[in-house]
Amino acid sequence: MPDSRRRRIRTAVIFATGIGDPGRALTESLPRPLIHVGGKAIVDHLVDRLAAHGVERVIVALHHHRAAMAAHLAGLASPPAIEQHLAAEALDPGSVLVDVLPRLGGEPFLIASADALWLDGLLPTLDRLAAAWDPAQMDCLLLLQATVTARGYDGPGDYFVDPAGRGRRRVGHEIAGHLYAGVAVVAPRALRNPPAGAFGLIPIFDRAESDARLWALAHDGLWFRIGDAQGVVEAEIELGYRPKPAAEAEKLRT
């Protein structure tokens, strides 16, 4: 892959459309992107990372609790400049990308889900993605998280990664070592000839995989999927926003 460490991706699309987790009061009454961790909404953590990377323009797709989301976004400081887009369905991020594609220009863009909290590792994660992006080989570059280090996740994983860095989605009853972390770089050409009707991201990623143009980068920082109050407490303890419980702190001392 080329050495592109100075490259910056200037446009991003955030998906803030989800309906939360049934039965979890926090996400039934409050959209997951507005859950506060460390005194800041999850979506604000994400916007801050986009701004630090150099993203200048963000389109945010809204559906569930859109009035609350719109009001919150209107209060955020710029940059980046934030535009809102009303999604027809909660689970149609692929369709959202097709709808907003004319507004994205001809360069690769970032996509990000606003329902997960991730922190950088040794280097800024978005800088690592930009450095790894190679338009000659890639239509999609996914950020993946190892399932064993993902907080709030207990599923079978989503993707395998070969030694060269190409991704393959698991099929059937396979158990994959990585999950899609909700962040990716996408080339406009990945959206050519889209499926009819509402669709998600999987058809886009699958076509890139079938064309041998789906690549992946392992995240080296923390990643949390937070859906209830206990998840907030656990994340804030691990991130240092709250003191460790007395019993756990005593174990560390002994």
Strand partners, 151: 224
Q: Which domains does the chain have, with CATH numbers?
A: 11-253 (3.90.550.10)
Exposure b/e, 41-60, CB count within 10 A at least 16 = b: bbbbbbbebbbebebebbbb
Residue 135: per-residue pLDDT: 96
33 half-sphere exposure, CB direction, 13 A CA radius: 27
29: left (phi over 0), alpha (psi -120 to 50) or beta: alpha
By CB atoms closer than 10 A (0-12, 13-18, 19+), residue 175 is: exposed
Residue 3: per-residue pLDDT: 43
The list of the chain residues with pLDDT below 50 reads 1-5, 22-25, 249-254
Query: Model-level pTM greater than 0.85?
Result: yes
DSSP state of 194: P
Sequence-ordered list of residues with C-beta below 8 angstroms from that of 42, at least 6 positions apart, any chain: 32, 33, 34, 35, 36, 114, 115, 116, 117, 226
The DSSP bridge pattern shows strands 109-113 and 178-186 to be antiparallel
Residue 231: per-residue pLDDT: 86
Residue 247: per-residue pLDDT: 54
